Amino acid sequence: MSTSDRDGNPAAEAHVHLSALGVHLKAHGFTVDPVAGGITVRNPSAPGWRVSRRIAQDTITCAPRKSDSGRYWYFTSWRQPIAEADRITDALMAIKAYLGAPT
């Protein structure tokens, strides 16, 4: 979606981008749950989770990035940029890398 196509509703645009990312993440074996302002992504196949009962997870958000002319970006829960929202494959690869790709 280009800047000129935006309808001026940041929450709606973020939701659209997060929904699209969620579909891709689910296709790669992650579980995805909507939460206020984002999606929680879990990797139940992360190494060691069966022993510790901990599941690799993060809450991903989507918002305009001021340093990139207001383009929408995905962010980690600690506000680190992941990828521009129009680059879903890049975001998917980054999330797989830091949450561990499902087996």
What sign for the dihedral angle of Cα 14, 20, 22, 28? negative
> pTM to 2 decimals?
0.84
Confidence (pLDDT) at 45 = 80
Arithmetic mean of pLDDT over the chain: 87
The Cα–Cα gap between 94 and 90 comes to 6
Q: In terms of residue numbers, what domain contains 57?
A: 3-99
The Cα–Cα gap between 97 and 99 comes to 6
Per-residue pLDDT at 49 exceeds 80:
no
Question: Across residues 58-74, what is the average pLDDT?
Answer: 97
Confidence (pLDDT) at 54 = 55
Number of domains making up the chain:
1
